[in-house]
Structure 1
Amino acid sequence: MNAFVKRGEASSSSEKDSSDGAAVPVRHRWRSSSSRFIAAYATLFSVAVMLLLAFIGVSTTQTMERSTDLIIEWQLNYFDAFPPGEIEGAIRDRLAHEHQHTAFYGLFDQDGKAVAGNVAMLPKLMPSDRTGATFEHTLSIDALQTSPVVRAMVLRRPNGQILIVAHDLTHILSIQRRTINALIVVGSLCLSAGVLFAWLLNRRQRARISEIQTVTRRIAAGDLAERLPVKGADEIDMLAHLVNHMLGEVERLMGEVKGACDGIAHDLRTPLAHVRAKLAHISDKAARYGDEDLNQRIMDVRRETDHLLDRFRAMMRISEIGTLSRRGGFEDIKLGELLGDIDELFEPLAESCALTLSLRSDANDIVRGDRALLFEALSNLVDNAVKFTPAGGAVQISLISCPEGPRIEVSDTGVGIPPGERSAVLQRFFRSERTQHLPGSGLGLSIVAAVVNLHGYSLRIDDAQPGTRISIECWPH
């Protein structure tokens, strides 16, 4: 029964959460493992693709430079084999046969003046002998307006001449860029397909979890006949099978306990009724002898017997309410008229106890419910308020319209309920030490809690300063 008190607090916290956004705030979606898995997958895939592209770029660049350096070094050795007077002719012959314009040659004297070749001038940053260097649009070529990206190597001959050989890297770099672009496109498509598939899987799993949540709420509301949906044989279905098996065992055990309690209550109620009837006969006979002490003792036993019978009736009533069909006998109820009937019923009792009973109603809201059960539950609340309020106090019944629906409040100026006992008072047979001297079975609020649970409402106990205020929020929770 503790859930009836906590349900009001939980509903207020859920209203705060829902006020921040939609029914399922976006910030809550990232709490699911599947959403975090999608984010982690996208991040890891993106990092992996970037590392792969970096590796391919570095690897192809190094391979390209090594292969180009081998060709350039072979050509340097070829030209270096010519004597000083013949190397110029060799360079001109080679340029004459160079139709693709991918190789460039230059021969300079020791002062840096061009002697032969199509390299117009020496680069500003001269590399060491036979050391490859890449020049990005900085090597001046006679036949070209725009200098390409080239790989060059320099050789200083013994007579002071400087020989430079360069190769165009434009074609190789174009292949490299196309390869990287293709990997980027394919990687993006794979990432998009993976994220889409993960999103669809996440949507399916969230739909299943939503179904399980809906069923779980009905189970938590007391409908133990419900079972979690099973649609396959994955991990969620395995867990659903286990929970369903557990629910079956819980329902069976609760049914056995309930059956045993109901049987005990029913079996004991009959002999107690017989005892009460026999005590009435004994009391009549004792009155003939004029023994007042014996007659008083018999009356005390009869009151105790009546008290036990009242407890068994209340226990049986709680059991009957728990077994009712949830929506079977529900109808439209005007709460204003219902509270008016209760106020009229308890007004003479309040006057006899020197109490002020008042009714405050903002509207005559209509709800779906069982009128007889709601009348019984509210009667128990007003009866308790009248019972535990000293003479000269006040009891107020209120009907308040809220955005979610109507709220019924019964407040008094009595002894109040300590915060530590507000959950316990909804349990069967609980009696506070401060009210032990007053008559009662400790089952009145248990009946109220059973009716509230049947309707799916929420019950809340607060401090009225002084006294107690019990609120029933008449909308589904």
Structure 2
Amino acid sequence: MRVPNLRLQLSLWLLLPLLALLAMDAWMTYHRAMDAAHVAFDRTLEASLKSMREGIRLHEGRLAIDVPYLALEIFESEAGSRIYYVIRDEHGATLTGYDDLPMPAAPKQPLYKTVFYDAVFRGEPVRMAAQPLPVRDMPSGQARLVWVLVGETIEPRQSLAHEILAGSLQQEMVLVTLALGIVWFGVRRGLRPLHRLSAAVAERGADDLAPLEQKDLPAEMKPLVEAINQYVARLHRMLLARKRFFADAAHQLKTPLAIMQAQSELALRERDGDRILRHVRPLHDTVRHAAKGVQQLLSLSRLEPDSGYAPALLPLRLDTLARDVALEWTPVARAGQVDLGFEADAPVQVLGQAELLWELTGNLVDNAIRYAGPGAQVTVRVAGPENQPLLQVVDSGPGVAAGERDKVFQRFYRGESTSEQDGSGLGLPIVRQIARAHGATVALEDTPGGGLTVSVRFAVTAVAGAGAGLASRQSWRNHQEVSK
């Protein structure tokens, strides 16, 4: 469906109300013209009544009526109208004239005043004038009351009202035409800044993502330009994130691919099966390390602030999830000679996505096992102080220097004491992004007695701590699991 241009839409929105106002004004003008015509023609009716009163006399108790020709001649001078009259006594009996002319309703005016009213006579609308008249016989002192009614069809009044209306409409049409021309010119000038903005955007190159200028723009256009600039800024950040992802992927895969190539070439040169197997095992470890790095890169890219990804947060048991993660990493901890344990005071619930929180906890446990070293202790702890869920991974390793605690959240950053085999440097950045998606914060603190404590504090929620007291303290360490 084709949408009309903005200029045409604005003109139509202005034209339709103007036409509606014109129709309303025409109706009001016609009624005002009819009122004016009634005022003018009612004077003629009243003059006719006055002439007819002069021809009514009372003589010896009998009414004598002589309708002056002048009274009817006044009406005959009005082209197109028909005149009706009647004179009735106080009992309603017709003395002369048209017998079925309608009488007025109970008059609100004082007695003997002329009453003007509208009526229908013989299927036609008529304008009536009626007056009760006392007639006296001066010699005898007798008095009689008569009603004098005069009616006129309203064609002359309508003709006068139509003439007034036609003249008024001609003037108003001229004014409306001029107003539309002014509106069209004003809309055209008012849309010039929009045309300039459109031209400025069209002239930009494909890689030009600089903000649009807001100088000399009308106040109504500034919100639009600000919204466009915000959208362009988000697009720019998304493009930067994509470029960063490609750069990170190249950085992360370059070394493993080179190692795999070298190890595969060595394996191809061997003829003995045992020697080939000796080269294939490190190749398998390198592939696994590369696959993990790719998975971490994808997770980090998905969790970028401008990626548009919004996880569906549902109520879940944080203590149960953390315990299951610790159980999953128990074999790895035993292989690294690390004592892995779990502690929880009571059931703790949070609003979260299980897969993401599983990855967050796994990364923290992986880092703790990897960097704490053989003989160290690692504890996964869940608590809910003051209904604020708290997840902690505590280790007794060498810890992280205070000057490096902000740097470890940067991509691919490794401490001075770490080696290439100690991870990819993406675990803690992923932890921070997952925590941000859950409205949580991550902090690094010293462990009393030595080591590092990573604390993830969730926002206070209505479900946090729900069901507390349903279970007693849970606690185990991996050497207990081994005995089982």
> Which of the pair is proportionally richer in strand?
2
TM-score if structure 1 supplies the norm length? 0.44
Report the structure number with the largest CA radius of gyration. Answer: 2
Q: TM-score, normalised by structure 2?
A: 0.43
| Higher fraction of helix | 1
